[in-house]
Structure 1
Amino acid sequence: MSSTPDTARRVFAQHVPFVPTHYQCFDAARMLAESVVGTEPEVTCVIGIASGGTSPARVMADYLKVPFHTVTARHNASDAAFQQATGTVEVLLPEALPGRFTGTVLLVDDITGTGATFAAVTDALRARFADGAAVMTAALFRNRGCPLNPDRWAWTVNDWVVFPWERPHHGLTQPVPALRRVNAR
């Protein structure tokens, strides 16, 4: 378990969720993968944080031609929209996960709201990192209120995001702008 300070709050300005398309998510994952080519040490595997990070992580692993793994992390009380994170993250590492990681391990999630999930997963994996191994984080979306930015992200938003792999939102939504470039910390 890991916690973030109580001051880490997601920002929901308009209370109208963003709704990216499958194509936008696929294209963003590809652009994020392109942005890490040439990283030192080289990316040796991609780990998708289930469930939202699984689809983009799979695209990125395929693009980079490296192994794909998943871990489960959860800190939202439910799947309901516009909720603040609890700050406590539960991480479950599957038995099939390698016992040792070398190079750069790329952790991927669909959105980072506070940074707590990336921090908790990194902490849970730390004992498996060989000397010289590094962690890089990537997310399709970063909430504007996020105090711990990922290493790479596609969009910064100020509202809830409903992903194509989630239940559709019934009500007003707003489109995601075209992605021009990947953001880097």
Structure 2
Amino acid sequence: MDGLMTGNVSMKISKVKVSDTGRYQCALPSLQKEASIQLIVGQSDMIGSDKPVTVTVGDNVILPCHLEPPLDMTTETVEWKRDEEFVHVSQHEKDYLDLQDENFRGRTSLFYEEMIRGNISLKLTNVTELDAGSYTCNVPKLQSQVRRGFINLTVEPMGGQTDDTSK
């Protein structure tokens, strides 16, 4: 209201939501002036890990992936792939494993109780050397610039520590 005397007729929207997306129009009929602006509200970006995740053969590992800012993912399709192989697919908090590569059968899970907070990390159990590689988490319907998170998994053999006692 303070700016009206100087001709500022701007509108402030607090706590912007995706549903606020649209065309807004300002009209000053007494001056026969009007203007409009298109507001596009972006959604969350997918964040993986910029550092490789390292695990030892036989251990369990969590491949991190979340949305920033957090967005409820409980009703979305979440896809995890290594290269072009499906590692895990989930929709509406249910696993759809018919496309899953057989090497991952019975060894993958998501944290469904965390999906409401945008956490779509993957747990991989009983890791083998064949699991090493580049993984992506993807939400196909996410309307943002960053729809995929990338994670590199490095697998070390068991007993990788060497004892150098020879001198």
Do Structure 1 and Structure 2 share a fold, with TM-score over 0.5?
Answer: no
Q: Normalising by structure 1, report the TM-score.
A: 0.25
Q: Normalising by structure 2, report the TM-score.
A: 0.27
Larger radius of gyration: 2
Greater share of residues in strand: 2
